[in-house]
Amino acid sequence: MKGYRLLTGAVVGVLATASLIAGAQAAEYPTKPVELIVPYAAGGGTDLVARAYADATKKHLPQAMGVVNKTGGGGAVGLTEIMAARADGYKVGMGTVEITLLPHMGVARFSVDDFTPIARLNAEPSAITVKADAPWKTIEEFLADAKANPGKVRIGNSGTGAIWHLAAEALQNKTGLTFNHIPFDGANPAVTSLLGGHIEAVSVSPAEVSSQVAGGQLRMLAVMADERSKAFPDVPTLKEKGIDLSVATWRGIVVPKKTPAPVVETLRKASKAAAEEPAFREQLAKMNLTWAYADGPEFGAAMQKDNAFFKDLMTKLGMAK
């Protein structure tokens, strides 16, 4: 693999020079396999979405996509690599909501404007979930209790500065309540702690608690989305309850900013077709993930909106640098 890359590296150099002269390369893009950088470990949710997507593009691109995991720094290492890649379309990336989070914390060299969005593939809202034997049957009761006992209600999240922490902070900010935020090393340990009764609630996505909710051990009180979740149609949204708040994580394909327009066009077309493949949608459904395709411009607008929202929130929290 390494040797192959060195070899192709040399070929790319020649090709790139040639294309500058001929200017015809874009029309033929892609002429060699495309690398898909995933900023998280193999086997995780982001990785599985990426692999399903790479598989689905086979029919719609003349060349294969290969997934390469570049982990570390809560996604910062991989996202930096995507940002810094040669803008020729042969290194595309699986962008995640962290693009709009990490820059504000001063831990990333990139900002949301360093990427050109291609297609959003998946999005998951935050949800407030409690134990099934907890006294709160509705989100109103839960919030009322939190109001009566400021700082007593412990909400577990997947790490400080991670999306589910910010979701809980946003809820606190919107409602004027005070929670005790407990960071865990990922969503799973937070759910374990909730099951054991060591915390009162979690703010992770419905997918991450679905088996325990189905098994009757946990109860989901509300989702932070514009619409109800298809998997849990009985769970109300915060909007229905008069709290105008939706926070979601998302995953989608991005490329470096300066990628030429024809390449972006090709990728957008292929991504749309791949996202609409029944096999891809089926794969997501099997993983309890929500299909949320959005084309480049729409995806870009959502990214900008999130970026402004989180910048504002993190400045209020004193986390922004």
Partner 1 sequence: MHELGMLMNGVATLAANPMALLLSLVGVALGIVIGALPGLTATMGVAILLPFTFGMDPVSGLLMISGVFFGGVYGGSVTAILLKIPGTPAAAATAMDGFELTKKGMAGVALGTATLSSFLGGMASILVLIFLAPVLAGFALEFSASESFALAVFGLSIIASISGKSVVKGLIAGFLGLLIATVGMDPMGGFPRFTGGYTELFNVPFIPVMIGLFAAAEAFKSMEDPKVRLGMAAALGRIIPPWATYKSLLGVVSRSSILGIVIGIIPGAGSDIAAYVAYNEARRFSKTPENYGKGELGGVAACEAGANGCTGGALLTMLTLGIPGDAVTAVMLGALTLQGLQPGPLLFKEHGDLVFTLFAGMIFCYVGMLVLGLGSLRFMGRILQMPKSVLTPVILALCVVGTYAINNSLFDIGIMLAAGVAGYFMQKWDFPASPVVLALIMGPMAEANFRRALSLSGGSYDFLYTRPITAVLLTVAILTMLLPLVKRWRADRAGASGGAAAGPLEASK
Positions touching partner 1 (CB under 8 A) are 2, 41-45, 47-48, 51, 55, 68-74, 76-77, 80, 105, 107-109, 151-152, 154, 159-162, 165, 180, 182-185, 188-189, 191-193, 195-199, 210-212, 214-217, 283, 286-288, 319
What's the min distance (Å) between Cβ of 229 and partner 1?
16
What's the min distance (Å) between Cβ of 272 and partner 1?
23
307: left (phi over 0), alpha (psi -120 to 50) or beta: alpha
Cα-atom radius of gyration of the chain, to the nearest Å? Answer: 21
What's the min distance (Å) between Cβ of 313 and partner 1?
14
Contacts of 15 (CB under 8 A, 6+ apart): 25, 31
Q: Are 267 and 117 in contact (CB under 8 A)?
A: no
Q: Are 34 and 65 in contact (CB under 8 A)?
A: yes
Q: Peptide bond preceding 30: is omega within 30 degrees of 0, i.e. cis?
A: yes
Q: Which residues make beta-bridge pairs with 249?
A: 124
What's the min distance (Å) between Cβ of 43 and partner 1?
3
Question: Nearer to partner 1 by C-beta: 45 or 256?
Answer: 45
Question: Nearer to partner 1 by C-beta: 155 or 294?
Answer: 155
Query: How many CA atoms, within 13 angstroms, populate the side-chain half-sphere of residue 32?
Result: 16
Q: Which residues make beta-bridge pairs with 68?
A: 37
Question: Nearer to partner 1 by C-beta: 43 or 278?
Answer: 43
What's the min distance (Å) between Cβ of 295 and partner 1?
27
Question: Nearer to partner 1 by C-beta: 109 or 258?
Answer: 109
Question: Nearer to partner 1 by C-beta: 152 or 258?
Answer: 152
